[in-house]
């Protein structure tokens, strides 16, 4: 081994050792805690066994389009009554967990309490739930925030999830091609019709974005799917811009009922 290679090897080991010491010191000052209930964990940041077991992961059988879980397995390629009666503008929806209990805590922690450290864990579960959609996609892009809300919130939780999904899947993430052209009311507390009216025409693909999205298969990322109004409005804008396939991928999914 040459002197240069030996120096690089020693430098790499030194940096790794320093990094390990830094993480040890940080864990001593800020011990890893469960993202669900806050108890101190022995290992890295994540969930304790109790919170993990309370998450309701969405598994097959489910509707091939809307990803709505079925109680009984009715065979392959079965669609829900909702997907048949009201086909969405996107091609399919996949979500990792039901939006309840600790899943709600994780979403609200990321979204409202600046817990960006949760994004890698959440994105990992979303990658598993994507059911191969990412493997066949060309691009990953987040549902955007309006610029005024982005300034107030400081970051877009959907963009954080998209960034980590891109890194885990190897698919490029595209930011800024799809924008929210007007500030909409918060969707929380609004009924299904009010949500649709609130986001109707709110999403626009930029001129540069049209060139990047035309003829592409995309995965549209968000934190929660509730009534589907936001995902539908964003998907319509993408389809008008020439996107040939849109898979909506969210961390959580709210089933019909009170939101």
CB-neighbour burial class of residue 164 (10 A; exposed 0-12, middle 13-18, buried 19+): buried
* Between 138 and 74, the higher pLDDT residue: 138
Rounded Cα–Cα distance for residues 225 and 222 (Å): 7
Rounded Cα–Cα distance for residues 189 and 251 (Å): 20
Give mean pLDDT, residues 168-177: 97
Confidence of residue 109 (pLDDT cuts 50, 70, 90): very high
Confidence of residue 172 (pLDDT cuts 50, 70, 90): very high
* CB count in 10 Å sphere of residue 244: 14
pLDDT of residue 41: 82
Which range, of 75-89, 120-134, 176-190, averages the lowest pLDDT? 176-190
Q: Indicate whether 116 pLDDT > 80.
A: yes
* CB count in 10 Å sphere of residue 131: 15
Confidence of residue 244 (pLDDT cuts 50, 70, 90): very high
Give mean pLDDT, residues 15-27: 44
Return phi, psi of residue 46, to 5°.
Answer: 175, -135
Which range, of 30-44, 96-110, 143-157, averages the lowest pLDDT? 30-44
Rounded Cα–Cα distance for residues 167 and 160 (Å): 11
- pTM (2 decimals)? 0.83
DSSP for 83-103 reads HHHS--SSSEEEEEEESSTHH
pLDDT of residue 134: 96
pLDDT over 70 for what percent of the chain?
80
pLDDT of residue 44: 65
Say if residues 203 and 240 touch (Cβ distance below 8 Å): no
Say if residues 35 and 52 touch (Cβ distance below 8 Å): no
Rounded Cα–Cα distance for residues 92 and 130 (Å): 10
Confidence of residue 232 (pLDDT cuts 50, 70, 90): very high
Q: Indicate whether 13 pLDDT > 80.
A: no
Average pLDDT of the chain to the nearest whole number: 85
pLDDT of residue 5: 45
SS3 content of the chain, % helix, strand, coil (to 5): 40, 15, 40
Confidence of residue 237 (pLDDT cuts 50, 70, 90): very high
Q: Indicate whether 240 pLDDT > 50.
A: yes
For tokens 């399919």, the residue is 92
Give mean pLDDT, residues 127-142: 96
Q: Which two tokens stand for residue 227?
A: 């009534």
> What is the end-to-end Cα distance of the chain in Å, rounded?
63
pLDDT of residue 151: 75
CATH classification (class only), 56-253: alpha beta
pLDDT tens digits, one per residue of 22-80: 444 444 445 788 888 888 887 666 788 888 888 999 999 999 999 999 999 988 889 99
């Amino acid at each position: 081994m040459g002197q240069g290679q030996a120096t690089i090897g020693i430098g790499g080991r030194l940096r790794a050792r320093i990094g390990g010491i830094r993480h040890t010191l940080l864990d001593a000052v800020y011990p890893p805690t469960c993202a669900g209930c806050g108890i101190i964990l022995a290992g890295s940041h994540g969930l304790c066994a109790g919170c993990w077991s309370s998450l309701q992961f969405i598994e097959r059988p489910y509707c091939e389009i809307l990803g709505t879980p079925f109680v009984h397995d009715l065979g392959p390629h079965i669609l829900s009554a909702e997907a048949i009666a009201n086909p969405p503008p996107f091609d399919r929806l996949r979500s990792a967990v039901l939006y309840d209990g600790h899943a709600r805590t994780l979403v609200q922690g990321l979204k409202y309490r600046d817990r960006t450290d949760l994004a890698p864990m959440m994105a990992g579960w979303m990658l598993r739930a994507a059911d191969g959609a990412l493997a066949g996609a060309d691009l990953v892009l987040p549902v955007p925030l309006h610029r005024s809300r982005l300034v107030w919130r400081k970051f877009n939780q959907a963009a954080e999830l998209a960034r980590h999904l891109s890194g885990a899947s190897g698919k490029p993430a595209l930011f800024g091609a799809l924008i929210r052209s007007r500030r909409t009311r918060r969707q929380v507390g609004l009924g299904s019709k009010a949500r649709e009216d609130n986001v109707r025409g709110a999403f626009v693909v930029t001129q540069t974005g049209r060139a990047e999205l035309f003829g592409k298969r995309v995965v549209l990322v968000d934190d929660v799917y509730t009534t589907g109004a936001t995902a539908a409005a964003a998907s319509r804008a993408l389809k008008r811009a020439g996107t040939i396939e849109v898979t909506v991928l969210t961390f959580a999914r709210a089933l019909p009922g009170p939101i």
